[in-house]
């Protein structure tokens, strides 16, 4: 096991599930589950992937690492990792089933499954090495990096599908924002306690504020009244 996984220097208060910041984080984790379920429901209804392909690949690779490779001293946190992983498998299945014909770029559409496999593999290696080489014991900082990528890609997904809004979930947008807000508050306390080698939390704060701003933009976009119906485009993008 890599030395970065040693929690001997961590403040034990970080692992108290009844600490106020961990209760806020637990509420955020529940909101994330609701967001995923709302997206899955909309994707099934519209027969379209509800998460962009890159975001799905990075997300499922993090869930695999968090479930089986990264250490986790809190049973509740590990349980959420496993729940997210199971839900992610459903999202992956929807992407593989619905995403290819919606892909606008011919080269990616022709090699859709290979491209997705490469994204998952690269995400797995990149995230593992980040956690191993930098003081990010639970993979929380890299998780917020992925979260920001996802938020940005959601905005691009909206603009690509604003005519028909296939796969776009308004409830998913709201609960993603609330879930990230809760976990952002929690991690500003937990990361400071378990990664004392960090010089500060400036980068984590930048990530969290950026995610919140982009999520609010996405909510504003999906809350707008739909435009006049347009002719259906048979080939839509899976960002």
Using an 8 Å Cβ cutoff, are 28 and 178 in contact?
Answer: yes
pLDDT of residue 69: 85
Interatomic CA distance for residues 174 and 184, integer angstroms: 15
What global pTM score does this model have?
0.89
- Listed by start position, the domains of the chain span 15-223
- For residues 185-192, give the mean pLDDT: 95
Residue 222's Cβ-count burial label (10 Å; 0-12, 13-18, 19+) is buried
For 105-114, the pLDDT digits (tens) are 999 999 999 9
Interatomic CA distance for residues 81 and 120, integer angstroms: 17
Cα–Cα distances (Å) from 7 to 4, 114, 191, in that order, read 8, 38, 12
pLDDT of residue 239: 44
- For residues 33-46, give the mean pLDDT: 97
């Amino acid at each position: 096991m890599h030395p970065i996984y040693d929690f001997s220097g961590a403040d034990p208060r970080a692992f108290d599930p009844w600490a106020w910041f961990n209760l806020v984080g637990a509420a955020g984790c529940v909101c994330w589950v609701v967001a995923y379920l709302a997206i899955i429901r909309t994707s099934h209804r519209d027969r379209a992937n509800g998460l962009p392909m890159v975001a799905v690949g990075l997300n499922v690779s993090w869930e695999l690492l968090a479930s089986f490779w990264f250490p986790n001293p809190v049973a509740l946190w590990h349980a959420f990792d496993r729940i997210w992983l199971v839900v992610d498998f459903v999202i992956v299945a929807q992407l593989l089933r619905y995403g290819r014909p919606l892909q606008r770029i011919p080269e990616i559409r022709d090699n859709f499954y290979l491209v997705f496999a490469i994204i998952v593999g690269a995400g797995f290696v990149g995230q593992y090495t980040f956690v191993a080489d930098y003081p990010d014991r639970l993979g929380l900082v890299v998780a917020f990096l992925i979260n920001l990528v996802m938020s940005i890609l959601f905005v691009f997904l909206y603009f690509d599908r604003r005519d028909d809004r296939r796969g776009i979930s308004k409830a998913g947008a709201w609960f993603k924002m609330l879930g990230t807000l809760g976990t952002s508050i929690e991690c500003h306390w937990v990361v400071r306690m378990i990664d004392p080698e960090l010089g500060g939390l400036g980068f984590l704060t930048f990530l969290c504020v950026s995610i919140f701003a982009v999520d609010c933009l996405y909510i504003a976009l999906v809350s707008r009244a739909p435009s006049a119906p347009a002719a259906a485009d048979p080939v839509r993008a899976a960002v």
